[in-house]
Amino acid sequence: MAKRRQWLGGLVLSGWMIWAYVRLLPRAPILTSLGRLRNYHDWAYAHLAYADILALYHTRHLYLHLVPYLQNRIEYPVLMGLFMWLASFAPGVIGYFTVTAIVLWVCAIGTYLLLDRESPAYAMLFAISPMLLVYSLLNWDIGGIFLMVGAWRLYRQQRWTASGVAFALGVFFKLFPVFYLPFITVELIRQRRLGQWKKMLRSFLITSAVVNVPFMIGNFKNWAYFFTFNAGRGLGADIWANRWVHIHSISLVNVVSLMVVTLMVLAMVWWVWQGGSVAMATALTFGTFLFVNKVFSPQYMLWFLVFAILAQWPVWTYWMMAVAGLLDYVNSITILHFMYPHSPALSWYAYRLFSLGLVVRYLTLAVTTGQALVKVCHHFFPESPPVNAKEPSTG
C-alpha cells in the first residue's frame, strides 16, 4: 500500500512539473539564433508563463558563464548562484532550462519521499498541490525545500552532524531553513543534549565556512550583495504598500517587521521550552514572517505549504493555501503584464482587482497561521473547569 501511494504521488507530482515545463518553455518568437531570449518579459507576462529561471538567464548574463560572486553579481545565496552557473553550461537557454527542470524535478520527488517518511498522512498534499504547476519551475525554491526537509528528517533521526551539514546547505541555497534553527537549539538544550547540539553547530559552521569563505575572500562586495540587496530592497505589493496602506520608509518597515518576528520567535521559544513542537513553532514563525515581510514573492506560499505539512496542520489549510497561491500567481503576473508596457488599464486593475488579490493572500496567511496560534494559546492557557462546579452525586 505504501509503495502504491508513493508511486501515485510521484506520478501526480511529475505530471504537474511536466505541464509546468511545457507551459514555460520559450517559443520560437522569443528565441534568438544563438539560443538566447529576446522580449522575454512581454511574452511571458502575456502568456502567464513567467519564470525567474528564464528571466535571469538573460538579465544576469548566465550564457557568458561568469563565475558567480567572483565575476558576476547574484542576489541569491551562494549555492543557488553556483547551481544557476553550472546549469548555464548546457547548450542554449533551452538546454539550461531543461537541465534546471530535471534537477528540480528530482528535488521535488526527493521532497515528497522524505515527507512521506516523516508524515505519510500529509505527504500526498504536497504531491497533488496545484501550486507545483505555477511555482515548481518559477524559481529554484524546490532545491531549498528539498534540503530543508532532508535536514529536518536527519535531525529527527538524530543524525546530528549530517543534519547540521544539510541545514547549512539549505540556508545558503535559500535562507528559509534558518527558521528551524533557534527552536532546534532550544529543544536540544531543554533535553540536555548539549553534546548533540555542539555536533550540529560545528558541522553547520564548518559547512557554512566551506561554502562561503572562498567567495568572501574573492569578492566580498559581490558575496554580500544578497544581504545588502534585501536590506535595501524597496516595498513590493504587500501588507505595507497597497491601496489602503502606504508606508514609504523602508527602514521603518524593516524595524517593525523584525520586531514582530522577534516577538513571535520569543513566544515560540517559550512554547518549545515547555515541550511544544519544533515544527509547529517554525511554521507559525514563518507564517508571521510572510505576513509582515516587506516583499512577498508568490512562490513563498509553496514554502508555507511544506512548513505546514511538517507541522501537520488541518487539511483544509492546505487547500486554502493552494487556492490563494494560484490566485496570487495570476494576480501578480497580470499586474506585471499591465505594468511592463505602462498600459492604460493598469490603474483600473490595480485598484479594482489586484487589491482584492492581496486581501485573499493576507487573509489566507492570517487564518491558517491563526488557527495554529489558537492551538498554541490553549497550551499556554488551558481551559479549567468552573470553580463552583458541583461534584457528581455518588448516590
Using an 8 Å Cβ cutoff, are 131 and 301 in contact?
Answer: yes
Does the pLDDT value for residue 389 go beyond 50?
no
pLDDT tens-digit series, residues 180-215: 999 999 999 999 999 999 999 999 999 999 999 999
Using an 8 Å Cβ cutoff, are 60 and 146 in contact?
Answer: no
pLDDT tens-digit series, residues 38-95: 889 889 998 999 999 999 998 898 999 999 999 999 999 999 999 999 999 999 999 9
Q: Could you tell me the three cell numbers for 67?
A: 563565475
Local confidence band at 129 (pLDDT 50, 70, 90 cut-offs): very high
The DSSP code sequence of 26-81 is: PPGGGB-TTS-BSSHHHHHHHTT---HHHHHHHHTTGGGTPPBTTTB--SS-HHHH
pLDDT tens-digit series, residues 239-275: 887 777 777 788 888 899 999 999 999 999 999 999 9
Average pLDDT, the chain: 91
pLDDT tens-digit series, residues 21-41: 999 998 888 888 777 888 898
pLDDT tens-digit series, residues 298-336: 999 999 999 999 999 999 999 999 999 999 999 999 999
The contacts of residue 82 (CB under 8 Å, 6+ apart) are: 68
Q: Is 243 exposed, middle or buried (0-12, 13-18, 19+ CB in 10 A)?
A: middle
Query: What count of other Cβ atoms lies within 10 Å of the Cβ of residue 385?
Result: 6
pLDDT at position 339: 84
For residues 130 and 237, the model is more confident at: 130
DSSP label of 387: T
SS3 240: coil
How far apart, in Å, are the Cα atoms of 382 and each of 304, 377, 379, 391?
Answer: 28, 8, 6, 21
pLDDT tens-digit series, residues 278-290: 999 999 999 999 9
Does the pLDDT value for residue 227 go beyond 70?
yes
The percent of the chain in helix, strand and coil, each rounded to the nearest 5, is 70, 0, 25
Beta bridge partners of 246: 241
Integer Cα distance of 1 and 7 in angstroms = 10
Average pLDDT of the segment spanning 120-140? 95
pLDDT at position 222: 94
